[in-house]
Chains A and B, each alone.
Chain A
Amino acid sequence: MSREFLSGNEAFAYGIRLAAPQVISAYPITPQTIVVERLSEMVEDKSLKSEFIHVESEHSALSCAIGASATGVRTFTATSSQGLLYMAECLVYASGGRYPIVMMNANRSTALPWNIYGDQRDSLSLLDCGWIQAYAKDAQESLDLAILSYYIAEHPKVSTPFMVNLDGFHLTHTYEMVEVPESELVKNFLSDYNTDNKIDFENPKNIAFSAGPEHNFAFKYKEHIGILNAKEIISEAEQKFAPLFGREYSGLVEAYRCDDAEYILITLGSIFGLCSDVADELRNEGVKTGVLRLRYMRPFPNKEIADIARNAKAVAVLEKDISFGNEGSVYTNVNSALQKAGLSVPSLNFIGGLGGRDISEEDIREIFNKLSQGKTAVHFIGIEEGAII
């Protein structure tokens, strides 16, 4: 093990080198570019043995990865924002074909207006694509997810592509001390990708076929079960990971001081650290606050949210997303979890950080403040309620 000062992007690239995909196809886009640059350098200096394909678009990046995955090799791609949307057709293709491709997505706002900074509308608008979606909080978790993701995605009970999301700039470009594990350790943890879902010269196959109304439903149901199975395999992977690497992860969610919390802020990504700091301050002031981080949006932690929010007086959902004409997508999902569990905990939605706007400590204090007043509504941080602009 070594300790290195790395950005989120670099940490992810280090993790990918350890996971050693045989084919990488990628197209550059801010703020993901550092990942593909580092991986290119690693291929050049032979510290990573991988076919690096310089594709001419994101659509081709994922299409190429699907082709490679169909030969039974480990594959990687990375993108962001418009690039993710451009490859959307291939997203459903990869999941429908059950190809366990790992992709890093640098969460970035989507045009129009053009904006290169971080929010989460790109990936959250694609929750229904059949991909596992994880959201990292820091560079260390980014590196670890690069390794864990292959274990989970390639597991035969899962066979589902895996999108690891890093907040654009806030995480992709922020440097931290990161523990980089030895490659021998990773080899012990992650076995080679082994599948029957591939081209086979001994027993030729017709794959990625059409299926009409009679059979289509069954394929889609199996796809759903595959991604649900990821819950169990995420837990299995983390249990195996902890003793080897000395770091523990807590499955679909990470709860901070939620046990006796009256007010819980539910969020995702790199804002978790700041939210936890504010929760600490408020605890010192006598307010029982906690923070629940959704590490995964798919599969969705329905049970975990309900279990943790059960005794809360109110929950807030803070997200860098808006489903125009309704509310934040995370909020919709959280409310569904509460409702299915028969809970009537009041919930508020806070939309923040769109187009990369900072969410301040004061903003988070204000969320908890509004939460204790118990109004159910969608709030846009920094915009007056009902404002007409």
Chain B
Amino acid sequence: MNVNANTLNEDEFFYGHKACAGCGGSLAVRIALKVLGKRAVAVLPAGCMSAVGFNFPQLCFANNAIISTFAGTASMLTGIEAGLRAKGITDFVAVGFAGDGGTADIGIQALSGAIDRDDNILYICYDNEAYMNTGVQKSSLTPFGAKTTTTPAGGNVRGNLRPKKNMFEIVAAHGIKYAATASIGYLPDYMKKVQHASEIKGTKYIHVIAPCPTGWGIAPDESVEIAKEAVDCGLWILAEYENGIFSVNTKPKNLSALRTHIKKQGRFKHLTDEDIDHIESLRDSKWENGGQ
């Protein structure tokens, strides 16, 4: 049965936590666990989701959940999968929820190792584009121009100078069984991808864009809309990689909305028109590459 808003599990597996209002990451975790159900074993590294949800004695996962080391999301998933399999248990999903820093920076080695071994795990990167838990520092998934506490926007430098690392392509280059991008602005698409991934044996990777109102400088009730806009204006491409083939899921609805989308976010407030032109050109070159 395909999962959708009507068929989605009414049980909650991630509640009572202390995430900020409007947190995109917590929505990504909550919805994925509803799709995966009580046989999911969740691994969360140091980061927002473990910080808000895992403080003894207030523990807020209704399924089995464990914190890993910051660098060890994938390696701990591997161990859990191997341990349960060694016990003859097969009807479970070992799922990781790591942020952008935990995935693209400190955790990339372990993730690469797990994909190389084709371990039967599902790795979900909730990408809020900076180290939000420690107070908004730049990660390698922070986009060009974004102001963070370690890439301040001043008279000399206008925020982060480097473009976002392309984790989707990096993961696909391993020849992974399944990889997808998603957005919390398009939950039905995200749910479908989580469900599809859970039915594949081998390593699966889903990269979901998950705005952080605190770090992005947006209102709590705007995070879903901002995540939607990012897709609509072509900045974030919904795509899949399976059996060696890339496919783009949606065409951007309104390319010209990029400028207002950027301007809405406090982290980009300092950007000049030329800076936004540069963001636009980065976007356009991606689309010229077939969306990759």
- What is A's interface to B at a CB cutoff of 8 Å? 22-23, 25, 50-51, 53-57, 59-61, 63-73, 75, 89-90, 93, 199-201, 204-212, 215
> B154 at interface (Cβ–Cβ under 8 A)?
no
- What is B's interface to A at a CB cutoff of 8 Å? 38-39, 41, 43, 50-51, 54-57, 59-69, 71-72, 74-87, 89, 92, 109-110, 112-113, 116-117
CA distance A53 to B79 in the complex (A): 8
CA distance A75 to B54 in the complex (A): 26
Partner of A55, one of B61, B68, B89, B113: B113
Tally the A-B contacts, defined by beta carbons under 8 Å: 155
Q: A55-B78, A69-B83, A210-B51 are in contact. Are A215 and B110 (CB under 8 A)?
A: no
Partner of B56, one of A53, A57, A75, A209: A209
CA distance A65 to B92 in the complex (A): 19
A204→B64 contact, CB < 8 A:
yes
- Going nearest first, the 4 A-B pairs with the smallest beta carbon separation are A67-B79, A71-B83, A56-B113, A63-B72
Point out the residues of chain B lying under 8 angstroms from A207, CB to CB: 64-66
CA distance A30 to B138 in the complex (A): 37
Query: A67-B79, A72-B83, A199-B80 known; 4 other A-B pairs, CB under 8 Å?
Result: A60-B78, A63-B69, A72-B87, A201-B89
- Shortest Cβ gap from B207 to chain A (Å): 21
B80→A68 contact, CB < 8 A:
yes
CA distance A57 to B110 in the complex (A): 8
Partner of B69, one of A54, A56, A59: A59
CA distance A153 to B134 in the complex (A): 36
CA distance A23 to B79 in the complex (A): 8
B80→A71 contact, CB < 8 A:
yes
A-B contact pairs, 16 of them (CB 8 A): A22-B83, A23-B86, A25-B82, A53-B117, A55-B78, A56-B112, A57-B113, A67-B66, A67-B81, A73-B83, A201-B38, A204-B61, A205-B65, A210-B51, A210-B56, A215-B56
B78→A70 contact, CB < 8 A:
no
Point out the residues of chain A lying under 8 angstroms from B57, CB to CB: 215
A59→B110 contact, CB < 8 A:
yes
Q: A201-B38, A204-B62, A215-B56 are in contact. Are A66 and B79 (CB under 8 A)?
A: yes
Chain A minimum-CB-distance residue to B44: A208
CA distance A72 to B89 in the complex (A): 12
Chain A minimum-CB-distance residue to B61: A206
A70→B79 contact, CB < 8 A:
yes
A59→B77 contact, CB < 8 A:
no
Point out the residues of chain B lying under 8 angstroms from A71, CB to CB: 79-80, 83-84, 86-87
Partner of B113, one of A60, A68, A201: A60
CA distance A2 to B284 in the complex (A): 71
Most B CB atoms within 10 A — which of A25, A204, A206, A210? Answer: A206
Chain A minimum-CB-distance residue to B43: A67
Partner of B55, one of A25, A59, A200, A210: A210
Point out the residues of chain A lying under 8 angstroms from B43, CB to CB: 67
Point out the residues of chain B lying under 8 angstroms from A53, CB to CB: 78-79, 82, 117
Q: A90-B72, A209-B56, A210-B50 are in contact. Are A56 and B109 (CB under 8 A)?
A: yes
CA distance A201 to B65 in the complex (A): 11
A67→B92 contact, CB < 8 A:
no
CA distance A64 to B83 in the complex (A): 9
A201→B92 contact, CB < 8 A:
yes
